[in-house]
Amino acid sequence: MPTTDELRQRIETAIPGAAAQVIDLTGGGDHFRASVVAPEFAGLSRIEQHRRVYAVFGPDIGGPIHALSLETRAE
Amino acid sequence: MSETTENPIREAIAEAIRDHEVILFMKGTPERPACGFSARTVAALEATQAPFAAVDILPDPRIRQELSALSNWPTIPQLFVKGELVGGCDIVSEMYESGELAHVLGVEPPADAPDEAPKAAEPGAPPLQIDNNLVDRS
C-alpha cells in the first residue's frame, strides 16, 4: 500500500526541483491529494502540469493509487 | 483498413466528444454519481446552469481504457468542451471558483452562485466509491 511519504518522494525524484505535499484523503492508503510546486511547470497549462505528475505514477493511477487529487503551480 | 472497424469503442467516444459541445465522462450518472469526484464535478457544472451531456463509463471497462488512451488523462471524471479536454474534478473545481468555468462553457455565472465549488464529497465522509472497474458492481 503506497504511503504519503512514498508518493512525495516519487514526485520529488521524478520532477527536478519539485516540492510536494501529499495527504491521505481517507486514511485508507489509496485516495491521495498532492500539492506540487515545480519550476518546470512554468508556461505549462494546468492540464499539462497535472499530466506531468500523473506520468510519474503511470499505471499505478487506477491501480494501487485509486485517486490522486492534484494542485500544481510553478512557484 | 480504417480504425473505425478496429476500434469501435474509441471511435464512438471520439464521435461523442465531437457531437457534444460539453460532455462529461463520469462514474455513474448526474442523477446518481457513483464516485465523489464525479459528484463534485457534476455539482460544479450544474451550478453554472450550462447544459451538458454525460457518459457513464462504468458499464464497460473498455470505455475508460479507450477514453484515457484518447485523452492522455488517467482519471475519471473528464470534462470536454468543444472537443478539448478541460480537466478532471480538481481543475473543474478550480475553474468554477475562479469563474473561468462559466466563461469556458459560454454562460454567465449565476448571480447567486456560491464562491466555493459545491462540495459533493468531503474527505473523511463515507468511502468514496472509487473502483477500478474490475469488480462486478451488480
- Tens digit of pLDDT for each residue in B65-123? 999 999 999 999 999 999 999 999 999 999 999 999 999 999 887 777 777 777 765 44
pLDDT tens for each residue of B42-69: 999 999 999 999 999 999 999 999 999 9
Interface test with A, best of B104, B130, B131 (most A CBs within 10 A): B130
CB contact under 8 A, A46 and B91: yes
pLDDT tens for each residue of A2-19: 999 999 999 999 999 999
CB contact under 8 A, B130 and A67: yes
Q: Please say if the pLDDT value at position B14 is more than 90.
A: yes
Which residues have a Cβ under 8 Å from the Cβ of A49 and sit 6 or more positions away?
A: A36, A41, A70, A72, A73
List the single residue in B with minimal CA-CA distance to A25: B123
CB contact under 8 A, B37 and A70: no
C-alpha cell at B11: 471511435
Q: Please say if the pLDDT value at position A49 is more than 50.
A: yes
Q: Please say if the pLDDT value at position A51 is more than 60.
A: yes
List the single residue in B with minimal CA-CA distance to A69: B90
Q: What is the pLDDT of residue B108?
A: 82
Q: What residue spans define the domains of chain A? A: 4-73
Q: What is the pLDDT of residue B135?
A: 42
pLDDT tens for each residue of B25-35: 999 999 999 99
CA dist., res. B24 & res. B41, Å (int): 9
Chain B residue numbers with beta carbons less than 8 Å from the beta carbon of A51 are 72-73
Q: What is the pLDDT of residue B120?
A: 66
Q: Is B126 on the interface with A (CB under 8 A)?
A: no
Choose which CATH entry (3.40.50.300, 2.140.10.10, 3.30.300.90, 1.10.730.10) describes domain A4-73: 3.30.300.90
Q: What is the pLDDT of residue A15?
A: 98
CB contact under 8 A, A26 and B123: yes
DSSP code, position A65: B
Q: What residue spans define the domains of chain B? A: 3-105
Q: What is the pLDDT of residue B132?
A: 41
The answer to whether the complex's ipTM is over 0.90 is: no
Chain B residue numbers with beta carbons less than 8 Å from the beta carbon of A62 are 74-75, 132
Give the pLDDT band (50/70/90) at residue B2: low
Choose which CATH entry (3.40.30.10, 3.40.50.800, 3.20.20.190, 3.40.50.2000) describes domain B3-105: 3.40.30.10
* Runs of H (alpha helix) within chain B: 3-6, 8-19, 36-48, 61-71, 89-98, 100-105
